[in-house]
Structure 1
């Protein structure tokens, strides 16, 4: 199979879909890999390194989209890329379609087969292709929140860890999954006063055992959430409904009780955000203020630490890329039901039920798509 990896063109997105090491594995399996010139510069990988790994370098993305059977990316295709997709082509990347009707419509119109990293499953309902970026984003959320809390960045002027004689900042983490766990780890490490809210008693028990007295846990209901948000210096939104839009847990009304200069970091912004007042921002302009509350809603947080993120991502995406290239996407999915859950759009139809329900499409059943 001929596989293309273009340079990412989303704002400040420095990750790349394939590392030189991944190219070498694909080439070892007999596949042709085309890399757009300069695609790896954001992770410190030169065109020469890709050539040495067995890739061919192409000067522009147009050639890749026109001639490659599978496109491997990191972020959802941007409008210029959507226009180049074609029927029968495989797109393998993060998509986050539920809050993005325009991208979904364009993918449907293209006729391409779109496989989303974020809905590929693992044993026990895990999301292994989302997990490494959730780990990165969870850890980054505390760094970003701590910076936003500085007075020069519009925040309250609070140091999360405090100092002797001065209380630490209060961090509220909404959601105790992968993002929330990693955010709590970082906040605890800084010495902040940390509370994690979740609706799963089992999850709360696991978190309580792990953190012991270093972080508090609390069942997430409306009353507890309201009380926690009102006392917070920093709130991390870390909720996820696989494939669907994130629930709006913090309303604009709730902002009125918050301390002026407190910070909201919405890690769920890729799925529409879990704060009513959230809207996507970029690394160039990461924050905005509503009702005296600083909002950080960068939609590609891990792109800022591109080398770490790219290698962590390739560790989990490459095995499926090899399977798709070796067997063809249909046979790969017939023999791997976890990979089959990644199919979101095929031949002009939405195949992922949560996306279809959210955006009003009649879903194409998976068994029909694989027939």
Structure 2
């Protein structure tokens, strides 16, 4: 559908930003539902091509949705059944391995801090290495009680919500077209074309954004894995996948991924600061490639947001809802932008308003003729 693009005016932009912030405040209260819904959207866009092929092959839409989501749930259930005993059997080994990497990473960071204290007087006055040593010793002594237990409780609290993902995906695959038809019937005929464009644009934008993020994550995982392998760091594929997945969380995600890589580097190669600088350089290089090349090409301009506005909204999203706000604010703003610009077109287009008013007069005249006929 070829539709001329419309740039919203300043009043519409104020409304778009205000509605986005209000929605984020609301979604912060129901994150247990918002996060599974967003993940279900990603799964829906991944499975919808397979569903269309099954429908073209002669299967019903209901059967295609049930078969795909049932297969996903079966695979997920088998994976969880196998994961649970394996996790119990290796919990102690993982704990000792994590503490070993934590100790190695601390030694590396402590070496960097002591080098700064040796060169700069302000660093010596801050006593950073001494404070870091005290905090690290406390974390070692109380890691299982304070950190591991809290992580397991958080995972247990989120597990029921995450089980909603295949259920939501099933209904999206089964009734997505019915919802669009229901929406079209409820809209007056004069505004039908613009409403149809709005639903098509939202679906296209969401598909481009979410699938683009999946492709970007896979590409980053390949680059990180290749870089870690060249540097000689252990488990490059697993570490690259973790870094790529965390990299999709704005700001804080790449920092956590880089810290994890530095922990592994400090353990595998103690005292070799040049490898630590190599890891830092790898993260900086991939971040620049993402921002300057991969993001515009792969994700494209699906959200059509100015870089300065994106930065400001990320800061607002982080202030409102923390990490969840950083992840939700841009797709929410993109959807609200499409809705706002379409409503502005509808409310300010004289031809559309005239068509709607004329249709109402025709319906009123037909009703009066019916009354005269029956009387």
**Is TM > 0.5 for Structure 1 vs Structure 2?**
no
Structure whose residues are more often helix by fraction = 2
Who wins on radius of gyration, i.e. which is larger?
2
The structure carrying a bigger strand percent of its residues is: 1
TM score, norm. by length of structure 2? 0.23
Q: TM-score scaled by structure 1?
A: 0.23
RCO comparison, higher one (Cα < 8 Å, 6+) = 2
